[in-house]
Amino acid sequence: MRFRYLLPNFRIAIVGAGAIGLYYGGKLAHFGRDVHFLLRTDYEAVRKRGLRILSKTENIHIARVNIARSTEKIGPCDLVIVAVKTISNADLPPLLAPLLGEQTMILTLQNGLGNEEFLAQNFGAERILGGICFICLNRTEPGVIERFDYGRLTIGEFHGYPHPRLHDIAWEFKRCGIVCRVTADLALERWRKLVWNIPFNGLSVVAGVDTAAILADEGLSQLALELMGETIAIANACGHNLPTAIALEQIKQTRTMGDFKPSTLVDYLAGRPLEIEPIWGEPLRRGQAKGIEAPQLAKLYRKLTALDRAGRK
């Protein structure tokens, strides 16, 4: 399959209208790109009041937004951005099918491991791109996204080195005010984010606190460092070279976030199912397959699984 270069008017579908999908789709739409959102819960709010993105440096209001309740209403697109929670992956094959043309690309912005593999199995590896979002966002009310701190997007090919299409997409993101870079090693970047996600998303739920409280507590901050160390060890055993210094770098970055509530804590407090397997379960299993001891990760995985099951009941 050969993909043509993208133009500023290429057609984009956003599947997953949480904080990530609404933010990146909203930025693209604000700068005039042809963006179509699949909306269900927020449909009426966005139809009446539009989409708003708030932060210390921006106050964006998109009054007229292309929204639909079904992907059939949207139709084939050049690029599909997947931002649904991973617990909904089983719904994606029939959901994405109406959006796909011969040259449609699929960019997943989901957390954890295994998402590109799932999409490749169902739609073909040549279509699949992955993105890692390092950004502090919350959906504070229907159609309203608040950005609390720095943000950057890293995108890569599922297989092989970056093709021209990837640089084309990155350039469009940059033109729309999104800090974006291309990586030649998508898997490495996924592990880099897990070094943060595993401790801070996990501990925020089991302890019921935000990132600032984790860092302020001697026991929790030490546990966060231990979890980071275990994650780095597993990544290296799996062939992804991450230096141990990345843990302290990410701790330093986290201090700038203030009292930020990670997305898993937001989901837990709202009574929603948690993304346990791709963020904690799969890294743990890959470590075990390589003979890596990760006692703190195993304990955290068990606690989160128990809390998630109790919440579902």
Residues annotated catalytic, as ranges: 193
Q: Note whether 169 and 189 are within 8 A (CB).
A: no
- Measured distance between the N- and C-terminal CA atoms of the chain, rounded to whole angstroms: 45
In angstroms, rounded to a whole number, what is the distance separating the alpha carbons of residues 145 and 21?
A: 10
In angstroms, rounded to a whole number, what is the distance separating the alpha carbons of residues 265 and 201?
A: 7
Tokens of 111: 């957390």
Q: At what angle do helices 282-289 and 295-312 cross, to 10 degrees?
A: 150
In angstroms, rounded to a whole number, what is the distance separating the alpha carbons of residues 290 and 282?
A: 13
Q: Note whether 66 and 35 are within 8 A (CB).
A: yes
State how far the alpha carbon of 113 is from the alpha carbons of 43, 176, 193, 235, 279, in Å: 30, 28, 11, 12, 7
Backbone torsions φ then ψ of 82, nearest 5 degrees: -100, 120
In angstroms, rounded to a whole number, what is the distance separating the alpha carbons of residues 105 and 127?
A: 5
With b for 16 or more beta-carbon neighbours within 10 A and e for fewer, the 169-204 pattern comes to: bbebbeebebebebbeebbbbbbbbbbbbbbbbbbb
Please say whether the dihedral angle defined by the alpha carbons of residues 224, 225, 226 and 230, taken in this order, is positive or negative: positive
In angstroms, rounded to a whole number, what is the distance separating the alpha carbons of residues 230 and 199?
A: 10
